[in-house]
A and B are shown apart, each in its own frame.
Chain A
Amino acid sequence: MSLLEIAQWIQNTDWATYIRMSGYVYPAILSTHLTGIALFGGAILITDLRLLGIVLRDQPVSDVVGQLRVPKIIGLLIVATCGILLASSKAEEYYYNAFFRAKLSLLAFVFVHALIFRSGVYHNTAALDQARRMPGKAKLAAALSLILWISIACVGRGIGYIEPPLDKLHASIAGATAGSPR
């Protein structure tokens, strides 16, 4: 099964079809996705700004980062759940969508970012409390995190601007199948 076939299969499931065809379920999920972005974004912003020493400077890093972990996870769960529903409902269209591909690639970078900085920065806040000056690594992690998430938000907006010429694509796929040896 090719990736395209998997995308077609997802898009054609009953629930994905329902979301796509619905008048108001799709925008309701999209609105919830954006609400999650605000919540998740707020928690990420304050976490990273604290690491950069811009916000809540008089509060210990461990306090700020630690307390924001749960709101951050809840926000991420909302964003991811809605995101998966939205993407599934148009999986085949998004297969061709350059912005969607860019967004998935950037999300892979989030994973890399976590691999590099999670243990040393975000889960090492007790040590950051003791540090006389914020280590460069923590500041780098915060700056990259902000750049990454801002890019993801902007690229995500771009997804909606690409209307894939599905008729042509389907025709070419059908043509390729028809042209194959009988």
Chain B
Amino acid sequence: MLIAFENPLNENALAFPILECFHILGFAITVGTIALVDFRLLGFGMMRQNAGALAKSFAPWTLFGLVLVLLSGPMLFSSDPDMYYLNLSFQIKMVLLVAALIFHYSIRRKLLLGRLSANWNKPVACISLVLWVGMIFGGIFIAFIVTPGQ
């Protein structure tokens, strides 16, 4: 038996836009702090600090943004799960999210802890930037492409 119940988020017109604001602020904090470290790895921006030290100082903020995003995201998703689930842009975004998180806390972390050769600085920074920026594009395009069956 299917039990139908209304998602309380869909009963308040302001719930979705307010969640979106948290989502935007969250990704701006996360991607912004990550980008500053990636730029440092690329030889641009905060060059007088060590990349590992920068990453360490920013880590709580990167995580704070990530918490905002990962709390607001699933709530946004719950407002219309079928649409999101079938939306190609959303699917790509989720793949990028998983890839970005794994990359961030494995290879990139290793590099910033000095356990990888500095030859990896630029490739790692580029991959990191592409993954996170790709996710922003994936998020925006959800609303601009046709979802099958919708």
Q: What residues make up the interface of A, taking CB atoms closer than 8 Å to B?
A: 23-24, 26-28, 30-31, 34-35, 37-43, 45-46, 49, 55-56, 59, 63-64, 67-68, 70-71, 150, 153-154, 157-158, 161
Minimum CB–CB distance from B35 to chain A (whole Å) comes to 5
- Does more than half of chain B's interface fall in helix, strand or loop, or is it mixed? helix
The CA of A31 and the CA of B39, in the complex, are separated in Å by 20
Inter-subunit contact B140/A30 (CB<8 Å): yes
Contact residues on B (Cβ < 8 Å of other chain), bracket: 20 to 34
Given the contacts A35-B133, A68-B45, A45 and B24 also touching, CB distance less than 8 Å: no
A157 contacts B58, C-beta separation under 8 Å: no
Q: Is the CB of B35 within 8 A of A68?
A: no
Please choose the segment from B46-54, B99-107, B110-118 that sits at the chain A interface, where 4 or more of its residues have CB less than 8 A away: B46-54
Q: Indicate if the CB atoms of B17 and A41 lie closer than 8 Å.
A: no
The binding surface of chain A is classed by DSSP as helix
Q: A46-B33, A55-B61, A56-B57 are in contact. Are A37 and B20 (CB under 8 A)?
A: no
Per a CB cutoff under 8 Å, which of A24, A26, A27, A43 touches B36?
A43
Distance between Cα atoms of A157 and B140 in the complex (Å): 12
